[in-house]
Amino acid sequence: MVNGNAISFSEFIEASDTVNKDIAEILTDADRTLGDVFALENFIEIELGNKDYFKTGTASFKTTVKHARLHPGKYPLFSSQVDGPVEFMEDSEHLPLLIKNETEAQDEKLISWNIKGDPCKDIREHNKPFYVTENRGLISIIDNNIDLYYLLYYLKEHLVKLGNFKRSDEAHAGKVKSIKIKFPVKDNGELDLVKQQDVARNYEKILDLRKNINAKIIELKELLNNIDVFK
């Protein structure tokens, strides 16, 4: 069925040529600015369970949604839901994680992932107080030569595949601890913090690249759907 935006085949060729040139320009610019950023020529692999570098596991106090509803408050409760907190609560007997960021102006950060549902679909950074259920795993960085955002983005890109996690094979902390992460190192074998920070800083540009290319692909599909060969 032809819609109101119908175009002839020759119009499609002309319009699609413009879109393809836009895509080529986007990719050329990305290659020029990002070509060498993500290359890890020298790296080591470190398990998330390595206690010299990380503290990986679950919270000592793991609450429930029911408990949260009995203790309403301002602090978010994260579980396996992938689009944000499931409730907001406050329990004076069990203070939230990172509470000292609020009470003592500390600047600690944690990474968490959802264990069940679509495991590891929601991997996020925390810098404000929060609670978790048993369905949320936590990673705290011990070594100062590891950049939190490098680790965060690496996990977003690779954790599901590395652990082969799915609904029937959940991302429990014990399994996540065995996952090995690639970290760039200097020629002397030391962790390269500057390289990690460079990768993390440019990761957002990759997200923009994906967004822009996908928009152009959608534009091409719409052009294809609008062809009226009898026009």
Q: Which pLDDT does position 3 carry in this prediction?
A: 57
> What does the mean pLDDT of the chain come to?
91
Q: Which pLDDT does position 1 carry in this prediction?
A: 43
Q: Which residues pair with 94 in a beta bridge?
A: 91
Q: Which pLDDT does position 205 carry in this prediction?
A: 81
Strands (E), the chain: 43-47, 54-57, 72-78, 87-89, 110-114, 123-126, 131-132, 136-141, 180-184
188-194 contacts: CB < 8 A, separation 24 or more?
189/44, 190/145, 191/44, 191/143, 191/145, 191/146, 192/42, 193/144, 193/145, 193/146, 193/147
- The structure's pTM equals 0.79
pLDDT band at 228 (very low <50, low <70, confident <90, very high): confident
pLDDT for residue 135 is more than 70 = yes
- Provide the token pair at 13: 């060729």
User: What is the average per-residue pLDDT within 112-128?
Assistant: 97
Burial class, 101, CB count within 10 angstroms (exposed 0-12 / middle 13-18 / buried 19+): middle
pLDDT for residue 214 is more than 70 = yes
pLDDT band at 197 (very low <50, low <70, confident <90, very high): very high
Q: Tell me: the pLDDT tens digits for 51-79?
A: 999 999 999 999 999 999 999 999 999 99
Residue whose structure tokens are 């652990």: 163
